């Protein structure tokens, strides 16, 4: 059977377009277009959704003009057709035209090839048992601003979140990209921002999902041939929160659909909030265009809590649990558990549990016993950040100062100790350790190690520092 002329024309157009756009752009925005008819000089094509029409008209109309004129001739005209499926099941044709020259726009209504799109897209996050369709925001009410302890480790992200909650989508923090190692409070803060937004803006549609959940639901949509419902549901959001977004790495199809949703929401002035275990610049397996968009707003790092923040977190958690705990026990926990908020809370719960079955109250001796067991069971593999945090806390200096170029005696001393213990407690090379400290080379690390060893033998005060730090690291 001879191929229709409309298909032949569009294939020629695609050959030209493919040579003029990036592969990802071609796959995302031109390949899904279906040619459905040709009535000289009008080529009619069909697109999956109104968003396609609007996006292509905004970004690629000039390319389409030149391509069609080259293939069809100077009088070429292009028309879009969008098919929608209404709630009664009858088919509803929505016709649109892309403007080539202003005097060459027409409309047609001839036998479209159906690509169905629901006018009321299905809601994948419905609250069961409620007759009126309502979205389940999936926010955890226990992870709110009231129990989120502010500290230097999270102040930027926390305060930005409050500004967003007051006026979502209208600040310069869009998207807000929260990043940091595991257990520093990224998920708690993401939930807190969502809850505060709903409190201050009850009419806003807010949704929290993990990247894994988004990926699973996208796969289901592909399997069920309901991509349009899936995309249009996410287009309806006012605030979209995605946790652990690093899990999209290497998943090209998911990134493409997510890119579509990101663009639409951002252009509509909706708020986007993401969390990740690393900064955008450190993410691998991502399209460059997506990484660029992650950097459009504010990137805020959450770091390991400093000593004072750790004390406040334990104090707050004990209060919520209705437990009385002495200052000495608080300080003991904060001094020994330094890696994450999650481990801090876990240590406190372990002490509470032991007290319930043992002496009935939390004593310093009991806390020492429990912590000793916890620390012994924990793998003694430290990260550079953990070592810097512990030593910075000990000397009461900001962790960032240790990596800076300052030559203040107390900072240099702390930096040398950090490098010394990084070599002892990690598997990193000298060059890698130097790179972590403001791009210093391996000879600087060697000098630091030699200095520490020399001072331990000749300076009693310095040896006391070492003894204290080793207890904290043991």
Rounded to an integer, what distance in angstroms lies between the CA atom of residue 43 and that of residue 81? Answer: 11
307-377 topology per CATH: Helicase, Ruva Protein; domain 3 (1.10.8)
Residue 107 has pLDDT above 70, yes or no: no
User: Which CATH code fits 155-301?
Assistant: 3.40.50.300
Residue 292 has pLDDT above 60, yes or no: yes
Most confident among 109-118, 355-364, 403-412 (mean pLDDT): 403-412
Architecture of the domain delimited by 384-473: Orthogonal Bundle (1.10)
pTM greater than the 0.75 cutoff: no
What percentage of the chain carries pLDDT values higher than 90? 27
Rounded to an integer, what distance in angstroms lies between the CA atom of residue 105 and that of residue 109? Answer: 14
pLDDT band at 130 (very low <50, low <70, confident <90, very high): very low
Residue 97 has pLDDT above 80, yes or no: no
Which residues share a beta bridge with 118?
85
Which residues share a beta bridge with 83?
93
The pLDDT assigned to 51 comes to: 64
Cα–Cα distances in Å, from 163 out to 169, 178, 196, 326? 10, 15, 10, 36
Residue 50 CB partners (closer than 8 Å, separation 6+): 82, 94, 96
For the segment 26-54, the average pLDDT, to the nearest whole number, is 82
pLDDT band at 169 (very low <50, low <70, confident <90, very high): very high
Q: Where are the alpha helices (DSSP H) in 72-210?
A: 155-166, 186-200
More reliable by pLDDT, 361 or 459: 459
Average pLDDT, whole number, for the chain? 80
Using the CB atoms, write b or e for 178-195: b if 16+ within 10 Å: bbbbebbbbbbbbbbbbb
182: left (phi over 0), alpha (psi -120 to 50) or beta: beta
Residue 118 has pLDDT above 50, yes or no: no
The pLDDT assigned to 158 comes to: 92
The pLDDT assigned to 93 comes to: 37
Cα within 13 Å of Cα(116), Cβ side: 13
C-alpha 436: how far from chain center: 23
Rounded to an integer, what distance in angstroms lies between the CA atom of residue 135 and that of residue 116? Answer: 23
Q: Find out whether 73 and 38 touch, Cβ atoms under 8 Å.
A: no
For the segment 73-91, the average pLDDT, to the nearest whole number, is 62
Q: Find out whether 221 and 230 touch, Cβ atoms under 8 Å.
A: yes
42-46 vs 298-301, strand pairing mode:
unpaired
The pLDDT assigned to 405 comes to: 84
Cα–Cα distances in Å, from 68 out to 77, 101, 311? 8, 12, 68
Helix axes 252-267, 227-235, angle to 10 degrees: 40
**CA angle, 310 as apex, 305 and 316 as ends, to 5°?**
130
For the ranges 42-51, 162-171, 174-183, the lowest mean pLDDT is seen at 42-51
Q: Domain coordinates of the chain in residue numbers? A: 5-97, 155-301, 307-377, 384-473
Q: What is the pLDDT of residues 252-287, one digit of tens each?
A: 889 999 999 999 999 899 999 999 988 888 888 888
The pLDDT assigned to 102 comes to: 36
Rounded to an integer, what distance in angstroms lies between the CA atom of residue 358 and that of residue 365? Answer: 12
User: Which CATH code fits 5-97?
Assistant: 3.30.300.180
Residue 359 has pLDDT above 70, yes or no: no
The pLDDT assigned to 134 comes to: 59
The pLDDT assigned to 159 comes to: 93
Nearest in space to 342 (alpha carbons), one of 367, 372, 364, 374: 374
For the segment 342-357, the average pLDDT, to the nearest whole number, is 77
Rounded to an integer, what distance in angstroms lies between the CA atom of residue 35 and that of residue 79? Answer: 10
């Amino acid at each position: 059977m001879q191929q229709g002329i409309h298909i032949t024309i569009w294939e020629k157009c695609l050959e030209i377009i493919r040579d003029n756009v990036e592969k990802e752009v071609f796959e995302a925005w031109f390949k899904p277009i279906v040619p459905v008819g040709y009535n000289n000089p009008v080529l009619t094509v069909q697109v999956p959704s109104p968003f396609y029409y609007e996006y292509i008209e905004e970004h690629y109309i000039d390319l389409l003009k030149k391509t069609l004129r080259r293939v069809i001739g100077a009088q070429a005209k292009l028309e879009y057709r969008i098919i929608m499926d209404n709630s009664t099941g009858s088919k509803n044709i929505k016709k649109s035209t892309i403007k080539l020259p202003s005097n060459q726009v027409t409309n047609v209504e001839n036998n479209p090839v159906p690509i169905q799109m629901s006018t009321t897209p299905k809601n994948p996050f419905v609250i069961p048992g409620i007759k009126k369709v309502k979205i389940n925001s999936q926010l955890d009410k226990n992870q709110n601003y009231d129990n989120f302890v502010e500290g230097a480790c999270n102040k930027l992200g926390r305060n930005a979140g409050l500004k967003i909650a007051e006026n979502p989508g209208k600040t310069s923090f869009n998207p807000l990209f929260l990043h940091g190692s595991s257990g520093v409070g990224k998920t708690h803060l993401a939930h807190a921002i969502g809850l505060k937004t709903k409190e201050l803006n009850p009419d806003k549609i807010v949704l929290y999902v993990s990247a894994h959940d988004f990926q699973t639901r996208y796969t289901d949509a592909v399997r069920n041939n309901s991509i349009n419902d899936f995309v249009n549901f996410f287009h309806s959001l006012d605030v979209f929160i995605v946790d652990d977004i690093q899990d999209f790495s290497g998943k090209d199809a998911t990134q493409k659909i997510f890119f579509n949703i990101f663009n639409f929401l951002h252009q509509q002035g909706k708020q986007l909030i993401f969390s990740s275990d690393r900064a955008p610049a450190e993410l691998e397996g991502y399209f460059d265009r997506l990484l660029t968009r992650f950097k459009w707003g504010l990137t805020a790092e959450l770091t390991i809590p400093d000593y004072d923040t750790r004390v406040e977190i334990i104090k707050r958690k004990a209060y919520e649990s209705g437990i009385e705990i002495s200052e000495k026990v608080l300080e003991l926990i904060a001094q020994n558990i330094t890696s994450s908020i999650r481990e801090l809370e876990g240590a406190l719960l372990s002490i509470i549990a032991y007290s319930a079955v043992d002496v009935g109250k939390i004593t310093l001796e009991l806390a020492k016993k429990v912590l000793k067991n916890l620390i012994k069971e924990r793998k003694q593999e430290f990260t550079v950040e953990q070592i810097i945090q512990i030593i910075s806390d000990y000397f009461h200096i900001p962790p960032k100062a240790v990596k800076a170029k300052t030559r203040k005696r107390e900072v240099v001393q702390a930096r040398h100790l950090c490098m010394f213990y990084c070599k002892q407690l990690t598997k990193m090379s000298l060059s890698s350790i130097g790179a972590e400290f403001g791009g210093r080379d391996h000879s600087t690390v060697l000098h630091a190690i030699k200095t520490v060893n020399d001072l331990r033998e000749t300076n009693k005060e310095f040896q006391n520092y070492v003894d204290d730090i080793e207890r904290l690291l043991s």
